[in-house]
Amino acid sequence: MNPSRFFKTLCLISCIFFLGMFQGAEAGYKEGLEAYGRKDYVTALKEWKPLAEQGDAIAQFNLGLMYRKGQGVPRYYKEAVKWYRKAAEQGNAEGQYSLGGMYEFGWGIFKDYKKAVGWYRKASEQGNAKAQIGLGGMYRRGFGVPKDYVQAHMWFNISAVRGKNKWAEFWRYSVEKKMTPSQVSEAQRLARKWMRKHLQ
């Protein structure tokens, strides 16, 4: 076989192999999702765990969620942190938000407000509305960052507008009562600036 034909054949075999892997992973994820929807958590775990172990960030987040809630497994916060971290480090926004929450509340890991802020911020910058509420809350209370009502209002406002979240609206209104009109105007300006940059 000449070298050109050999490499073409090798490339074709590789493509078929990886396509088969992808289709198998997609099927496993779908079956896990259907099982989870039926509250058949044991089956969902069986389908998702191999994918998570192979590095699938969504499956890793799902495992973290199941360990945190005790779905199909005993509730085990340290294991939840492990899987959330794997997803978060791959850039999965839900994993980043969830890991931030584990640091904020000290579930399965030492409480660390600065690390919570860091993970909330990463998820917030990706547009995760729940993380934006979390980050706003940290600024509102001065946990892990200096207390800053302008920043708190900004993040609550972004979450309220983008996620249509009633909790974000509640906290935005709550913090606004403690602010001067000029502070509110500045927070609104920053929120508009953020949304222009991230919604292009």
Could you tell me if residue 111 is inside a domain?
Answer: yes
**Range(s) of the domain holding residue 174:** 127-200
DSSP symbols for 16-33:
HHHHHHHHHHHHHHHHHH
What is the arithmetic mean of pLDDT over 99-110?
A: 98
Mean pLDDT computed over every residue of the chain: 88
Question: What would the pLDDT profile of 180-190 be if each residue is shown by its tens digit?
Answer: 999 999 999 99
Could you tell me if residue 163 is inside a domain?
Answer: yes
Query: Do 194 and 176 reside in the same domain of the chain?
Result: yes
Query: Do 33 and 110 reside in the same domain of the chain?
Result: yes
Q: Is the pTM of this model over 0.75?
A: yes
CA distance linking residue 52 with residue 74, whole number of Å: 18
| Total number of domains in the chain | 2
Reference 133, options 165, 95, 180, 96; nearest CA is: 165
Question: What would the pLDDT profile of 151-165 be if each residue is shown by its tens digit?
Answer: 999 999 999 997 778
For the cut 50, the answer to whether the pLDDT of residue 199 exceeds it is yes
Q: Where are the alpha helices (DSSP H) in the chain?
A: 3-37, 41-53, 57-69, 77-89, 93-105, 113-125, 129-141, 149-163, 166-176, 181-198
What is the arithmetic mean of pLDDT over 50-74?
A: 96
